[in-house]
Structure 1
Amino acid sequence: MSDLPTGAAPVSEPPLGSLLDSAGRAAAALVRAVPPGGSAGGAPTPCAEYDVRGLVNHLFQVVVEFRELALKRPSDFSVTPDRLGADPEWREGFAGAVGELVRAWSSPGAEEGTTGAMDLPARTVGCMVLLDLAVHGWDLARALGVPYDPDPDGAGVVGVLERAVVEMAPTARAMGMFGEPVAVAAGADRWARLLALTGRDPGWEPPDGDDA
């Protein structure tokens, strides 16, 4: 994992707690926007691996397991539970889990040392969950056809992720986590360029007839 960052974040970078609070509340608002009754569950998303139901379940797992990593405890990504089928209050359950994630990464020492099975720097691991929330939030917003701002509070999410994605990209592509970069127009904004670096098409639209 030599291509991943190995040191602590620069002093000038905002704390992960504030970044995750901003991106997490944006993601929670999108999860609340998923139509009831499962009508959108099978709709495609820009992340080809997931339909809407699978994406929400994945986000739920990410939030729960990265909370454990903030607390320097073992995580388990081997099985993704179907929380949408098990809990009728899953929308609010997701919002509650986001709050727990934010509190965990805001706790003293959360960004210090290493965490996870690969003993990565804790700040790097925190940037991973931040990236998942922000980029998969965009995936869900595009699938639902609703507006999306990855950083509604101006906490600095995009700037932090720009640096993290550049550092993570070679290893992430080798592991199949990122696709090959997508070409964007010369005037594309920072968020579109960041999405393109992860292998996403910033102009993705649901196929005809598949709007959620």
Structure 2
Amino acid sequence: MKKISELLEAAADRAVPVVDGIDDTALGDPTPCAEYDVRALINHLFQVVVNFRVLAAKGDTDFGEVPEAVTGDWRARFREETAKLATAWAAPGAEEGTTGRMRLPARTVGNMVLGDLTVHAWDLARATGQEFVPDASVLGEIGPALAAMAPMAREAKVFGEPHPVPEGVGPFERVLALTGRDPGWTPPGA
């Protein structure tokens, strides 16, 4: 079993190029997450990355207010923040015990951020006309982990109801559908 920190590095290696490839003219465009346009989803993803770094150290976080992160060289900052996230989860004890106010097992919390980083990278790629293929080891981890978390995530309104998909779709499409996304989503007018 790979460490969460290694999986986060692999996920960041796929997410960072997507963020780097977002043109400023696309910041107001819709995403597969109906409640977020591209800018709002980037802000949310920054908040997730920073807060889950704190959770790796067993600190408390506040997901209430989403700060505006799309300022200055936000693409370089995203690269830096994802590297700090992986480093935080590599610290001794990061995957042990429970973490956060939810008092969930640390590895479960690590899988939450791993899922967010991967699925939201797909959201951003799809919204901005880029390709995204998750790392196979990341997909192997988040598939079962997100399936196990799905009932709790739906209750917390983090996941939507599962999106129907035909038999034979790939494992990543099943993960996307599990979170309530349409794996075939395209921007309006595309």
TM-score over 0.5 for the pair? yes
Q: Is 1:119 aligned with 2:103?
A: yes
Q: Is the 8 A contact 1:67 1:104 kept in 2?
A: yes
Q: Which residue of 1 aligns with 2:156?
A: 175
Equivalent position to 1:59, from 11, 22, 45: 45
Q: Which amino acid aligns with 2:8?
A: L
Secondary structure at 1:84 match in 2: coil
Q: TM-score, normalised by structure 1?
A: 0.87
Q: Which residue of 1 aligns with 2:67?
A: 81
Q: Is 1:18 aligned with 2:2?
A: no
Q: Is 1:34 aligned with 2:22?
A: yes
**Rg larger in 1 or in 2?**
1
Q: Which amino acid aligns with 1:171?
A: M
Equivalent position to 1:150, from 134, 138, 141: 134
Distance 1:67 1:180 in 2: 28
Could you list the per-position Cα deviations for residues 71-100 of structure 1 after superposition, in whole angstroms to 9, with x for gaps in the alignment? 111212111111113xx1111011000000
Q: Which residue of 2 aligns with 1:134?
A: 118
Question: Which contiguous aligned blocks of 4+ residues in structure 1 show a shift greater than 6 angstroms?
Answer: none
Q: Is 1:93 aligned with 2:81?
A: no
Distance 1:68 1:58 in 2: 15
Distance 2:126 2:106 in 1: 30
5+ long unaligned stretches in structure 1: 1-12
Distance 2:51 2:155 in 1: 23
Q: Equivalent pairs: percent with the same residue? A: 53
Alpha-carbon offset, residue 49 of structure 1: 1.3
In terms of fraction of residues, the more helix-rich structure is: 2
Could you list the per-position Cα deviations for residues 103-130 of structure 1 after superposition, in whole angstroms to 9, with x for gaps in the alignment? 0001111000111012111001000000
Q: Is the 8 A contact 1:169 1:178 kept in 2?
A: yes
5+ long unaligned stretches in structure 2: none
Q: Which residue of 2 aligns with 1:203?
A: 184
Distance 1:90 1:200 in 2: 26
Alpha-carbon offset, residue 25 of structure 1: 2.1
Distance 1:133 1:77 in 2: 16
Aligned length: 190
Q: Is the 8 A contact 1:25 1:95 kept in 2?
A: no
Q: Which amino acid aligns with 1:76?
A: D
Q: Is 1:192 aligned with 2:173?
A: yes
Secondary structure at 1:39 match in 2: helix
Could you list the per-position Cα deviations for residues 133-185 of structure 1 after superposition, in whole angstroms to 9, with x for gaps in the alignment? 0100110000011110111xx4x111111111111111111111111111112
CA RMSD of aligned residues (A): 1.0
Q: Is the 8 A contact 1:25 1:98 kept in 2?
A: no
Q: Is the 8 A contact 1:172 1:178 kept in 2?
A: yes
Alpha-carbon offset, residue 26 of structure 1: 1.4
